[in-house]
Amino acid sequence: MKNLFFVFLTFLSIHLCAQQKTAFQTSSPWIPEIDVRSDMAIVYGVNDRKGSTFEQRVQSWKDKGYSIAFMTGIAWGQYYDYFLGEWDGHNHLGVGQVTQKGDTIFHGKNMPYVVPVQSFIDYMKTAVVKRVIDAGINTIFLEEPEFWARAGYSAPFKEEWQKFYGFPWRPQDASPENTYLSSKLKYHLYYDAISQVSSYAKQYAAGKGRSVKIYIATHSLVNYSSWQIVSPEASLASLPGIDGYIAQVWTGTSREPTYFDGQKKERVFENAYLEYGSMLSMTAPTGRKVYFLTDPIEDWPRDWADYKKNYQATFTAKILYPSIDNYEVMPWPERIYTRPYKIAGSDSAVLIPKYYSTQMQVMINVLNDMPLSRNTVSGNNDIGVLMSNSLMFQRFPTHNGYEDPQFSNFYGQTLPLLKRGIPVQTVHMENLGFAATLAKIRVLIMSYSNMKPHSPEVHQQLVAWVRNGGILVYCGKDEDPYQSVMEWWNTKGNSYASPSQHLFKLLDGKYGKGKVYVIKQDPKEVVLQPGGDKAFFETVRRAYEGPSKKLMVKNNFYLERGPYDIISVLDENANAQPYTVKGPVIDLFDPQLPVLTEKTVQPGEQSLLYDLRRAGGGSTPKVLATAARVYGAVVSGRTFAFVAKSPVNTLNSMRVLLPGKPVSVSVSDSNGHAVADLQSSWDEASHTEYLGFSNSPDGIKVLIKY
C-alpha cells in the first residue's frame, strides 16, 4: 500500500505540474538539491554538457513531473560552434558589439554580445530552435535582446547602417542625431532578429503538426534605459510570433541608485515597483502573458542578510500587482542551493543558511498559491506617467553638456508620488492605440526631456483623451539636444522646433472636458535638489483634485489578495509612523511561521502575512503555509494526510489548520522510515499545528490524527 500511495502521488504531481503558473530556469540536469517544485522547469541552453546531452537534461526534468520549457540568450550565449567556425567554417567573433575604443563587449570568454547579422539569425534558427522543437519542447524563451548604447562601431554594424539608412555610417558620438539614428538601428536589428526567429519556430513546429509559444525574457524599460541598453521591448508585443514576456526584475536591477530629495542612494522597493509596473503597462493592453521574476540572491557578492532584505523588497513589489499570477520564482537554483557565495569584503564563502532557504521556499509556495484579485493597492491608482521605448535612445553619450544623472528625468516624475504612498502607474506610449491603455487614468504626466514620440498619431491619441476628460501634466523645458534630431516633427512638411510644439498646436487651447497643466522644468530638477519635488507635487495635486476627488497622501502600500496581506511602508516620508495589521496572522517572512496577534511594519520595511480570518474556516484541515510543496492532501474521518516535496538539504516549516488538537502526528520518508528531526507544536488560539522536518524531493508523508 505504501508503494501504491507514492505511485499515486507521483502521478498526481505530474498532472499538477502540467500547468505553467510558476517556473524556474536552470542549466543543470535534475539533481535532488534543486528540485524546487514549481510547475515548469525552463532548461537553459542547447549545448551538450559533460556527461549529458541537451536531450538528456530535458528528460531528467520531465521524469520528475515538470512541464518543460527552453531558454537561450538572443544577444549572447555559449554558441562556440558559431563564434569559432565549427558551424559553417567561418569564425564569427567579429560580429561582437564594439565600443568607440575598438573594444568588443563580451559576456564571457569567446562569447561576445552580437550584432545580430543574418548568419547569426540563421544559426539561431537551425542550430538552436530546430533542435529544441525536435526535442518535443513547445515553450521557448528568448532572453535579453540587448544592444549596448556605448557600442555601434564594428564593421558589421556599419554595414547594417548602410543597408537600413541608405547612406554611410556616422559615429554616434559626433552628434545627438547620430546617436538617435544609431539607437533606432540597434532597436530595429533585434526586432528583426526576433521576428525572424519566432516566425521560423512557429512555421517549423506547424510543419510537424505542433504549435509553440515564444516568450521574451527581458529587463524592464526602466532598467534598460537606466543601464544604457537598447532593446525592442514593447514593440515585440505587436509581433504575431510573440506570446509574452518574463519581466526580469531582481535585486541587481532594482538596487541601481536613484536621486530623490537631493540624495543618491539605493531605493530597492520603489525601483522594483516601477520596474514591474512598466512591464505590466507594456503587456496588459496587448493581452500578452507576463511572468514576474525575482531572485533570492544577485550576481555580486554581498552577504545573506543583504540578499534576504532586498529579496523581500522586490518580492513584495512583485505581488503588489494583483492582475499578475504567473511567476519565475528564481533563476539558477544550482547557484542558490549548491554554491557557497563569496561574502563582500572578505575571502570567505558561505552556503545558503538553512533559515533563508526555508523562508525562500515558503515564499515560492506562496507564489504557487497566489490568486488573481480584483482588489487594488491602497491609494489613488489613476495617476500615470508616460513612457516610450525612445527612453533608451538618449542615454549615451552626453551631448552639448546635457546630463540626466541616474535617469533622473524619469524618477523626477515618479518618485515624488511613489514616496507619498501614491501607487503611480506607468503608461506605454506605444500602447496608446489600445482603448484600455488610458481607460483608468485620470491624470497623465509626461515629458519630452528624455524621450520622443515615434509618430504624430501619439499626439492625436493624447488630444482625443484630453478632450474626453483626461488631465495632462506636461513637465519640461524642451532644451535637451535631442529635440532637433531629424524626425517626423521637423521633416515631411513639418517644421516644429520640438515635438511638444506639435502636441500643443493640436490642442490649440481647446481641452474639451479635460485640462492641461504645464511645468516649465525638466523632471530631473525635481529630484536632484533637496525639497525640489514640492512644487511639482502640488501641481499634480491641483490637477488631480476636484469636488469628489482627493489625493490620498500616506507612507504605505497595502493590498489584500486572497488570504494574504501585503504591506510596504515607505521611508523618506514626512510620516514616520509604522503600519499595524491586526491578527491573527502568520508572518510568512519569518521561517518559523509564527502566529501573531498583530504585526507592526516599520518605515523602509515590507511584510507578507497570511490572515487566518480569511483561511476558509477551520472545519476542513488545510496547509496554510509551507516550505515544501504539498501533494495529494486527503481528509478521511478525523485524519489528514499529504506528501510534502522540496529540495534535499533544506528544512521544511509549515503551519496546518485543523478542526482540533492533534492526537498524533506521523511523519515518514518515501521508504516508510520515521523522520527523526520532527518538530511539532499546537497553537490553540489559531487552531494551527506547526511542523518542521528535513525536506526530501522524494516526498515526506505526513499523517495527522485529531
Q: Quick one: 345 exposed, middle or buried, by C-beta within 10 A (0-12, 13-18, 19+)?
A: exposed
What is 19-369's CATH topology?
A: TIM Barrel (3.20.20)
For residue 146, CA distances in Å to 78, 154, 188, 224 come to 16, 16, 11, 9
- The pLDDT of 277-301, averaged and rounded, is 95
- The pLDDT of 25-48, averaged and rounded, is 97
CA 327/CA 675 separation, integer angstroms: 32
What pLDDT score does 162 carry? 98
Element (H, E) at 282: helix 268-283
Over residues 625-658, the pLDDT tens digits come to: 999 999 999 999 999 999 999 999 999 999 999 9
What pLDDT score does 624 carry? 98
4: Cβ–Cβ under 8 A, 6 or more apart, which residues?
Answer: none
Cell of 326: 504567473
Whether the pLDDT of residue 341 is over 80: the answer is yes
What pLDDT score does 616 carry? 85
Over residues 454-488, the pLDDT tens digits come to: 999 999 999 999 999 999 999 999 999 999 999 99
CA 126/CA 197 separation, integer angstroms: 10
Element (H, E) at 474: strand 471-475
207: helix, strand or coil = helix
Q: Which residue has the cell 537554483?
A: 333
What pLDDT score does 234 carry? 82
CA 475/CA 536 separation, integer angstroms: 9
* Type of residue found at 646: S
CA atoms within 13 A on the CB side of 237: 23
What pLDDT score does 101 carry? 97
From the CB of residue 216, how many other CB atoms can be counted at a distance below 10 Å?
27
Residue 220 near residue 247 (C-beta atoms within 8 A) = yes
CA 680/CA 354 separation, integer angstroms: 18
Q: Which residues pair with 151 in a beta bridge?
A: 99
Entry pTM: 0.96
CA atoms within 13 A on the CB side of 538: 4
Q: Which residues pair with 349 in a beta bridge?
A: 342
CATH 3.30.70 describes domain 383-544: no
From the CB of residue 530, how many other CB atoms can be counted at a distance below 10 Å?
10
Query: Which band of pLDDT confidence, cut at 50, 70 and 90, is reported for residue 19?
Result: confident
| 240 upstream amide cis, omega within 30 of 0 | no
* Type of residue found at 497: A
116: Cβ–Cβ under 8 A, 6 or more apart, which residues?
Answer: 74, 75, 189, 190, 192, 193
What pLDDT score does 12 carry? 43
308-322, 334-348, 573-587: segment of lowest average pLDDT: 334-348
Residue 536 near residue 521 (C-beta atoms within 8 A) = yes
Q: Which residue has the cell 549548491?
A: 338
455: Cβ–Cβ under 8 A, 6 or more apart, which residues?
Answer: 488
Cell of 378: 491602497
Cell of 273: 515597483
Query: Which band of pLDDT confidence, cut at 50, 70 and 90, is reported for residue 18?
Result: low
What pLDDT score does 55 carry? 97
Whether the pLDDT of residue 519 is over 90: the answer is yes
59: Cβ–Cβ under 8 A, 6 or more apart, which residues?
Answer: none
Please report, in angstroms and rounded to a whole number, the separation of the first and last CA atoms in the chain: 23
- Express as a percent the part of the chain with pLDDT over 70: 97
- The pLDDT of 391-419, averaged and rounded, is 97
Strands of the 471-475 sheet, one edge to the other: 425-428, 383-387, 443-446, 471-475, 515-519
Q: Which residues pair with 1 in a beta bridge?
A: none
For residue 677, CA distances in Å to 204, 523, 652, 691, 692 come to 53, 58, 11, 10, 8
DSSP symbols for 582-622:
EEEEEETTSTT--EEEEEEE-TT-EEEEEEGGGS--SSS-E
Q: Is the dihedral of CA 63, 66, 68, 69 positive or negative?
A: negative
From the CB of residue 103, how many other CB atoms can be counted at a distance below 10 Å?
13
CA 120/CA 622 separation, integer angstroms: 52
Over residues 128-176, the pLDDT tens digits come to: 999 999 999 999 999 999 999 999 999 999 999 999 999 999 999 999 9
DSSP annotation of 114: B
* Type of residue found at 673: H
What pLDDT score does 9 carry? 42
What pLDDT score does 11 carry? 42
Domain map (residue ranges) of the chain: 19-369, 383-544, 556-614, 622-705
Q: Mean of the per-residue pLDDT values for the chain?
A: 96
E runs forming strands in 208-300: 213-218, 229-230, 244-248, 258-260, 263-265, 289-293
The count of residues in the chain is 706
Residue of 299, 142, 343, 292 lying closest to 232 (CA atoms): 142
452: Cβ–Cβ under 8 A, 6 or more apart, which residues?
Answer: 180, 388, 390, 393, 394, 482, 485, 487, 499
From the CB of residue 602, how many other CB atoms can be counted at a distance below 10 Å?
12
Top CATH class, 622-705: mainly beta
Whether the pLDDT of residue 509 is over 60: the answer is yes
Whether the pLDDT of residue 109 is over 50: the answer is yes
For residue 26, CA distances in Å to 35, 193, 343, 362, 524 come to 11, 24, 23, 20, 40
Residue of 38, 30, 33 lying closest to 13 (CA atoms): 38
What pLDDT score does 282 carry? 94
